[in-house]
Amino acid sequence: MSASVRFFARKIFPLIADIEIRGDVSRIPKGGYMIAANHLGRLDSLVVYYVIDNDDLIHPLTDKYKKFWWARIVAWWLNVTWLTRGQADMKAIREFITRLKNGGVMVITPEGTRSKTATLLQGEPGVIYIASSAGTPIMPVALTGTEDAVVVARLKKFQRLKITITVSGEMYAPPEIKSVKGAERDALLRSAVDEVMCRIASMLPESYRGYYKDFPRVRELEEAQRRQK
């Protein structure tokens, strides 16, 4: 199934979109890591296939979409794992951890839902829990141009989409959480997911940064990126 999705993403998708990749994708490992990206629209997952070469892509999707026939078709095509909405779905989480340990690549949006304003929402700590439990690093990725409203408007006018995929220069290693409990662990998870989100924010234009636009850490990362150029 992944092969057909990858074919579409790399052969068909470019026919309707100009896709700019920023960052050194040659440093992306084959597997055993997590991609954390901002969530702008329904094309986000498909865009990932443009740069990733792995047959075990792990796609979580909330079960609220099961009521839509088109969502069920897309879910079948992408081989998604359904998540029970509003609760910690431990069965799905255990599957994610096992597949990551076995070399899979998990594609996740820490915000948990599409941003209606196209700006970053506060990240949820579940991404850190899964990555830490699996012992896998996280690669922050920033997307622009995949907003649903922008995609529809441009396609209606037969205009090509303008999409950017910015890949972080380094992986983020999540903290060890097994040895901490209660409020201390909650604080650790929050700090870690904010770090991932700040890394995403630093690769986005300011107008996309939303909740994280005034975080000092974003400026620090942005300055570090400038020095590396």
For 72-124, what is each residue's pLDDT tens digit? 888 888 788 888 876 778 888 999 999 999 999 998 999 988 898 999 999 99
C-beta separation of 132 from 177 below 8 A: yes
pLDDT above 70: percentage of residues in the chain: 98
Q: Cβ distance 99 to 80 under 8 Å?
A: no
Q: Give the model confidence (pLDDT) of 184-196 as tens digits.
A: 999 999 999 999 9
pLDDT, the chain, mean: 90
Q: What's the whole-number mean pLDDT along residues 50-79?
A: 83
Range from 5-19, 43-57, 59-73, 155-169 that averages highest in pLDDT: 155-169
Query: Burial letters for 23-37: b for 16+ Cβ neighbours within 10 Å, e otherwise?
Result: beeeebeebbbbbbb
Q: For residue 45, which of 59, 31, 64, 24 has the smallest C-alpha distance?
A: 59
- pLDDT, position 1: 59
Which one-letter amino acid corresponds to residue 21?
I
On the question of pLDDT at 229 being above 80, the answer is no
Residues 6+ apart with CB under 8 A from 128: 174, 175, 177, 189, 192, 193, 196
pTM given for the model: 0.91
pLDDT higher than 90, residue 205:
yes
pLDDT attached to residue 53: 78
* CATH for 161: 3.40.1130.10
What range does the domain containing 87 cover?
A: 2-228
- Per-residue confidence (pLDDT) for residue 7, from 0 to 100: 82
- Tens of pLDDT along 112-156? 888 989 999 999 999 999 999 999 999 999 999 999 999 999 999
Query: For residue 13, is it left (φ>0), alpha (ψ between -120 and 50) or beta?
Result: alpha
- φ, ψ for residue 39, nearest 5 deg: -115, 100
Domain tally, the chain: 1
Assign 157 a pLDDT band (cuts: 50, 70, 90). very high
The answer to whether residue 2 scores a pLDDT higher than 70 is: no
The predicted structure's pLDDT at residue 90: 86
Instruction: Give the pLDDT band of residue 48 (cuts 50, 70, 90).
Output: confident
